[in-house]
Every structure is written in C-alpha cells, then in structure tokens.
Chain A
Amino acid sequence: MRRQIPLALCFIAGLFMAVQYFIPHPAVQNTYELLLGWLQTLLAFAFLLGTVSLIRMHFHKIRNRADDRAFSWVTLLGLLGMIGLGFIHPQHQLPGSPFNLMFLNVQVPIEATMFSLLAFYIASAAFRAFRARTLEATLLLIAACIVMLGRVPIGDLIHESIPAATQWILNVPNLAAKRGVMIGVGLGMMATALKIMLGIERAWMGGSD
C-alpha cells in the first residue's frame, strides 16, 4: 500500500492534467484552476519545511563544531535577524523600514555582485572554448568571431556583409540546431511524464520495488 497509493494518486492526477487540455468545459477547467490554487497553498507550507531543514542543518554544524561553522552562524543570525526586523516594524515592506533597508542595502547589492561575476566567467569560458585545437573548435571560433563582430558597429565598418553573415548564422544553423534539441526535449518530457503516470518510471519514489 505504501507504493500503490502514491502511484494511484500520481496516475489519477497525471491523467486529469493531460485530459483537461482537451476539455474546455467549466466543470473541468474550474477543477484544474482549483488544483493549481492548491499547489500554491502546498508551496507555502513547503517553505516552512525548507526553513526547518536549513535551521536544523546549520544547528547540527554548530553543535558538531564543524570547520566551517562560522558560515552557519552567519546564516542563522541573518535568518533570525531578518525575521526579527520583519516583526519589529508592522509595515516592513514600506521604504525606510529596517527590514526594507536591510533588503535593499545588503541582499540586493550582494545578489547583483554575484550576477556581475557572470561577465568574468563568460570571458574565461570563452577563452577555453575558442582555443582552436580541433576542427569543431576552430569552426566555433570562426562563427563566434563573425557573430561578435556583427553585433557591434565596427563589424559593419570592416565589411558590410558581416552583420548579414551574423544574422544568417543565428537564424539558420543556430536556430536549426536549437529547434532540433527542443523537439527532442518536448518528446522526452512527454515520455517521462507518461512513464511516471503509468508507473514505469519509479525512481522519484525511491525505485521500482
């Protein structure tokens, strides 16, 4: 029963979600919207679960005097501090409230910093990818040079056909490859969903037996 009930629930829910696509009747569509609403409710409770997991893991690290427990202290103090600030000011979302100040002046700049690292990582990754050691890498290097030049005004100044070549690379070989991958992805998604619905794929619940 421990396995049958989840499998039956999965089959019924999966079948309903598949069938509702073909039935526009309000009786079905309203149920579908209701179920989507339930998902939101479920997510709210799940966040509580996530927070408990986070606190427990870092608490264990501190208790076990792990080497990197200093980070656990920072995490727990940050978490509890922000919760405290949220309770201190009744309208914490308003500009000027302590919670809002901390969010805008600490979290937002830190996240922006992390995001900005992407530019440097792109440069280092491009350096590795564009080393012309094989035929494929050489083709990649040539295509990348044309596309990069075609995207800036100097490309047009070097030769007027470079922007057109850029567009051709993006619209023909690049797009064809993308669509090929996407068709495969679509079919793969359907197959995976079907296998889960039919109980063929059971790894999500720990395995087949």
Chain B
Amino acid sequence: MLADRGLARVGRSGMGSVAIVVIAVALFLCAGVAPAQQTGDVETAETMVEEALQPLMPPTAVTAVDTPNDRGSAISLTWEHSPDHESGTLLGYSVYRSDNPDTGFVFAGRVPYVQNHYRDSGIGNNEPTYYRVATVALDGREALSETFGPAEAFPQWFNGARVNVLIAVVVFVVAIIYFVNAAKSGKDLFIRRLAGLDEMDNAVGRATEMGKPILYITGLSTISDVATIAGINILGEVAKKTAEYNTKLIVPCADPIVMAVEQEVVKEAYAKAGRPDAYSEDDVFYLTRSQFAYVAGVNGITVRQRPATILYMGMFFAESLVLAETGASIGAIQIAGTDAVTQLPFFITSCDYTLIGEELYAASAYLSREPILLGGLKGQDTVKFIAGVFLIVAVVVATLAATGVIETNFMAPLFVTG
C-alpha cells in the first residue's frame, strides 16, 4: 500500500491523461477532414499530446531533519526542484509521511511549486518518520520522490538562534555588577543632572507651602510593565518626602495589583519617615480599569481637590493629554515620566518637566542617591555606550555593503534572532 492517497491521485491523473490523448487524437482526425481551418487546433492538440505523454519528474535530493531551536514535534524538509519546475505545468509539491519506509504514507501538506521546503509540525517526538515528496502538475498528476528517512523530531534545551541575545545579556549583567561593586567600594560616580528630578523636592515643598495635596499617577498599565514598576520605585521616594513634610499624597490606581503594591510602598515609606500614623489607605485607592472612566475619575479629583503638584510616572496611552491638560488648567506643577514614545510629545507640551524614556528608570537611583543604585545606573549607561558604538559600526558596514564597497554585510546576522 504505497501512498494510498497519493496513488489515488496518480490514478485519477492517469485517467485524465488518457482522456486528453483521446480528445487530441479526435481533434487530429478532424483536422484531416477539414484541413484548412483546423491548422491551429492541430498544433494545440499536438502540444497537448506531447505534454500528456511526457512523464512528470519528481523532486530530488529530499532531506528531512529535526527543526532546530524549537520545542520539538516538527521536522523540516527541503528538496531540489523537479526538472519540470520551469515548465509552467506545476501546481506545487505534496509531502507524504509514514512511520514505515515502504507503506502507509499519508498526506502531510502541500506547498506552491516555487517553494522547496516544508515544516511538518504536530508530529510525535523521537518517532522515526519517513517522507516522500511528490511533484503535482496542474492536471492533478503526481510524481513521487524516493523515500527519505528516518527523521526524528526532538525538543531542544537551548535556542541556538538566540546566542547573540545571550551574549548581550551577559555583557549587560557583567557591566551592572562591575559598577555596583565599584560603587560599593566608594568610587565616585558622575551622573548627569536631570532637571525634572531636581525639581521634585521643590514640587513637594510647593504643595506643603500651599497646604494642598500631591497627586501621583502610575498610569493604566499592569504590574508586569517595567514602566509601572519604575513609577512605583519613584513613588517610594516621593512618599518619604510627603511623610516628612506632612503633605497629603493621593494615588488613584487603575489596576488592583498595582494598588496593593503601591499601598505597601507608601505605607513603608511613611513608617520609615517616622510617620506611620499619617498614612491612610484611603489615599491609595482603586478607581477603575476602564481607560476613560479612569480619566473621568482622576480629572474629577484634580478639579475638586486642586492638587499643587501632579506627578505622572509610568505607562500612559491616549489618556495622557486629557490628564495633563486638566492638570495644567488648574495651575499645578506637573512632572511626567514615561517610556511611551507616542505620549511623550503630549507630556512635553503640557507638563513643566518630562522624564524621557530611560530617565524614568534612572529616577529612583537619582532620587535616593544610594551608591548601589547609582552603580547600576552607571553600568546601564556603559552598556548603552557600547551598544551605540556597535550600532554605528553596523550602520557603516551596512552602508558599505549596500554601495558595493564591501562584498557582504557580515554584521547583519548578529542582529537576527530566532
């Protein structure tokens, strides 16, 4: 029982070929009866007969290997195109698989005739599998290749296509650890000034002087967003100051998990400042998950309580401008920090100071001035410098390759992951 379905297809295509021959011969005979007007038909019929009688050639050099860098259950097949590839009579290639080299082949899939590879997924791991690839003609005929196999799918314990990422991570970790240790040993680390963070003290002081609250918003994202975590880190520092100055801090939350973490952070900060009694759980509360209901809630608080200072630190979406413009309308000092590139222009327009992108992540270290955190920041800057140099070299190499000065862009594979 060789490729049941495949043979059936071949059988059907064989009958089709006979029919074509019969029609062609009939046309040929008719041409003899009325020779003058039938010349074109005769040529067509001859071509059809030639095509029908010409054997269809199967693909060659079929190979099947385990798909690399995956979780198993997949085998990758490649083959050389059939000699009929350029004839314009091919539909595609069908792939058949079996656990026996001689029998039981079942249809696995089909690819267009321009393609000479196929990924057979959904098969068992560590099971010997045999393959045959068939050339499929437009008229349905198929020509089967030799059997290839056995091939076995198995899962990998390491994705080799991500070695470049691993190297980058290792370099990053080493740089961070080195600078943290340097900071621990008392080395003086220079960190450039960030105007928005320098102004944080003044913003809190202003609220204290005016006897008005501070509104702190970490955005709509969840705790799995690093920008939210960065916002929470800054909240800890701000809460210490508000506790010291005895200023009311309002933190409306859009995510219940974020709320729970923020409650804990503010509570700890108040306890550290020696003012645990000043902390109220009602000041760090859940509003809603709905984007514009949240905006309505925060804007209501802004307009009614008229905070002297509003801090936006985290991930923001379309609500950013509505929040910031409402804050600007009541004359509050506003400091924003986000890594949402699309929202940055809105904050820059409406807020007094804006932390752009990575500055948000640096804020916690900058505010606390803890040497270990500053060391981490320095390590991050060093890696950024290395990455910048690397990118410049890559751009130069790519430009030289594109203009033909050098033969290949040898750096391109370094940026590809699987």
Interface size on B, residues (CB 8 A): 89
Structural contact, A24 and B71, CB atoms closer than 8 A: yes
Question: Which of A87-95, A113-121, A150-158, A160-168 is the contact stretch?
Answer: A113-121
A121 proximity list for chain B (CB < 8 A):
321-322, 325
Structural contact, B264 and A206, CB atoms closer than 8 A: yes
Within 8 Å by CB of A22, from B166, B261, B357, lies B166
Q: Give a binary string over A82-115; 1 marks a CB under 8 Å from any B CB, 0 the rest.
A: 0000000000000000000000000100110011
A124 proximity list for chain B (CB < 8 A):
325
Please report the C-alpha to C-alpha distance between residue A60 and residue B283 in the assembled complex, in whole angstroms.
11
Query: Distance in Å from the Cβ of B161 to the closest Cβ of chain A?
Result: 10
Query: In B286-303, which residues have CB < 8 Å from any A CB?
Result: 286-293, 295-296, 300
Structural contact, A207 and B272, CB atoms closer than 8 A: yes
Question: Which of B9-17, B187-195, B199-207, B377-385 is the contact stretch?
Answer: B377-385
Q: Give a binary string over A156-187; 1 marks a CB under 8 Å from any B CB, 0 the rest.
A: 00000000000000000000001001111101
B329 to chain A: closest residue by CB: A124
Is B278 positioned at the interface, with any CB of A under 8 Å from its CB? no
A195 to chain B: closest residue by CB: B376
Query: Distance in Å from the Cβ of B164 to the closest Cβ of chain A?
Result: 11
Question: Which of B41-49, B134-142, B230-238 is the contact stretch?
Answer: B230-238
Please report the C-alpha to C-alpha distance between residue A196 and residue B346 in the assembled complex, in whole angstroms.
30
Structural contact, B361 and A183, CB atoms closer than 8 A: no
A208 proximity list for chain B (CB < 8 A):
370
B267 to chain A: closest residue by CB: A206
Is B162 positioned at the interface, with any CB of A under 8 Å from its CB? yes
Interface size on A, residues (CB 8 A): 65
Is A51 positioned at the interface, with any CB of B under 8 Å from its CB? yes
B285 to chain A: closest residue by CB: A57
Structural contact, A192 and B226, CB atoms closer than 8 A: yes
With A53-B286, A124-B325, A188-B339: A201-B350 Cβ-Cβ less than 8 Å: no
Structural contact, B69 and A60, CB atoms closer than 8 A: no
Within 8 Å by CB of B155, from A24, A60, A204, lies A24
Structural contact, B236 and A71, CB atoms closer than 8 A: no
Structural contact, B172 and A194, CB atoms closer than 8 A: yes
Is A43 positioned at the interface, with any CB of B under 8 Å from its CB? yes
Is B2 positioned at the interface, with any CB of A under 8 Å from its CB? no
Structural contact, B71 and A29, CB atoms closer than 8 A: yes
Structural contact, B357 and A125, CB atoms closer than 8 A: no
Query: Distance in Å from the Cβ of A172 to the closest Cβ of chain B?
Result: 14
Is B158 positioned at the interface, with any CB of A under 8 Å from its CB? yes
Determine which residue in A54, A115, A196, A206 has the highest number of CB atoms from chain B within 10 A of its CB, and name it. Answer: A206
Within 8 Å by CB of A206, from B269, B289, B346, lies B269
Query: In B127-181, which residues have CB < 8 Å from any A CB?
Result: 155-159, 162, 165-166, 169, 172-173, 176-177, 180
Please report the C-alpha to C-alpha distance between residue A40 and residue B229 in the assembled complex, in whole angstroms.
19
With A50-B259, A114-B292: A182-B341 Cβ-Cβ less than 8 Å: yes
Is B411 positioned at the interface, with any CB of A under 8 Å from its CB? no
Structural contact, A71 and B300, CB atoms closer than 8 A: yes
With A185-B357, A188-B380: A54-B233 Cβ-Cβ less than 8 Å: no
Please report the C-alpha to C-alpha distance between residue A49 and residue B379 in the assembled complex, in whole angstroms.
38
Structural contact, A201 and B358, CB atoms closer than 8 A: no
Is B70 positioned at the interface, with any CB of A under 8 Å from its CB? yes
Is B8 positioned at the interface, with any CB of A under 8 Å from its CB? no
- Of the A-B pairs whose beta carbons lie under 8 Å apart in the complex, a sample of 27, sorted by A's number, is A22-B162, A22-B166, A25-B72, A25-B156, A39-B224, A49-B259, A50-B289, A53-B259, A71-B304, A111-B290, A115-B292, A117-B322, A121-B321, A129-B349, A181-B356, A182-B357, A185-B358, A187-B384, A191-B176, A192-B233, A198-B176, A200-B180, A201-B233, A204-B261, A205-B268, A207-B236, A207-B272
Interface residues of A (CB under 8 A from B): 18, 21-26, 29, 39, 42-43, 46-51, 53-54, 56-57, 60-61, 67-68, 71, 107, 110-111, 114-115, 117-118, 121-122, 124-126, 128-129, 178, 181-185, 187-196, 198, 200-201, 203-208
